């Protein structure tokens, strides 16, 4: 039986930077017929990175403006192409992949826990060889993409709730968790071994105050 569960955040932890905006922008750039509607996405793009905004609502707006109405095959095709291209773009931190491999070699349960959407995150999880992927779910209408969120945005306290739910599924397991942002401190504090990696100065200060380890992964 596994003795430990290892939870990895995606954007900024396993990868060097955000994966969501390149995903939606990449689709938009490859489909000129959608360009006339691009101006409607500009306010959402501008607001996406601002603190204090509803990131879940902004995420849903960008998905709907860019990809709503696509069928499952079209979304699957673009997602597969996007994920295949990540290694070539050197999207993943080598040190992060090494830590993932270390947990795998130890026989730990590997879980990718991300606020990014299930349009492509499960494909990243499969490519990385994790055991499970938990991420923000996007609504479909039958086989047509709606784009609204079908689950809470898996960020902040929602990640902590996910971790606590996983404890019931893996009784007796110790939990390690890795994240990179201030919002990740909620679930890092709830883990048995929480590590802030690649954090900002403010995040590192808050992590140390909470008694968490901090690391830099290149």
pTM for the predicted model, two decimal places: 0.91
In order along the chain (218 residues), what is the average pLDDT of each group of 10 residues? 89 96 90 67 61 75 91 97 94 97 97 98 98 98 96 96 97 97 97 97 96 95
Domain spans of the chain, in order of start:
4-215
CA-closest candidate to residue 157, choices 56, 61, 58: 56
Closest CA to 117 of 63, 69, 64: 63
Residues facing residue 178 across a β-bridge = 8, 195
Dihedral (Cα; 96, 105, 114, 85), 10-degree rounding: 60
Query: Residue 56 contacts by C-beta under 8 Å, 6 or more apart in sequence?
Result: 136, 149, 152, 153, 155
Q: What 3-state class would DSSP assign to 52?
A: coil
Q: What's the rounded Cα separation, in Å, for the pair 108 and 113? A: 15
In 3D, which of 41, 9, 2, 3 has the Cα closest to residue 179? Answer: 9
Which pLDDT score, from 0 to 100, does residue 57 have? 84
CA-based nearest residue to 125, from 19, 26, 25:
19
Angstrom distance (rounded) from CA 94 to CA 21? 22
pLDDT attached to residue 56 = 86
What's the pLDDT at 218?
86
- Fold of domain 4-215: Rossmann fold (3.40.50)
């Amino acid at each position: 039986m596994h003795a430990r569960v290892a939870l990895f955040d995606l954007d900024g932890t396993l990868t060097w930077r955000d994966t969501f905006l390149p995903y939606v922008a990449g689709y938009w750039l490859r489909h000129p017929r959608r360009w006339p509607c691009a101006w409607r996405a500009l306010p959402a793009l501008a607001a996406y990175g601002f603190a204090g905004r509803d990131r879940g609502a902004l995420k849903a707006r960008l998905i709907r403006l860019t990809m709503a109405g696509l069928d499952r095959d079209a979304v699957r095709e673009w997602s597969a192409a996007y994920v295949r291209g990540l290694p070539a773009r050197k999207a993943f931190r080598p040190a992060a992949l090494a830590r993932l491999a270390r947990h795998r070699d130890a026989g730990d349960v590997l879980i990718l826990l991300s606020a990014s959407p299930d349009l492509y995150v499960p494909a990243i999880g499969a490519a990385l060889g994790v055991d499970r992927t938990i991420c923000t779910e996007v609504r479909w209408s039958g086989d047509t993409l709606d784009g609204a969120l079908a689950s809470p945005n898996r960020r902040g306290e929602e990640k902590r709730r996910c971790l606590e739910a996983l404890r019931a599924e893996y009784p007796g397991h110790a939990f390690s968790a890795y994240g990179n942002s201030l919002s990740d401190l909620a679930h890092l504090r709830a883990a048995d071994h929480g590590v802030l990696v690649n954090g900002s100065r403010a995040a590192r200060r808050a992590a140390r105050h909470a008694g968490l380890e901090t690391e830099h992964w290149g």
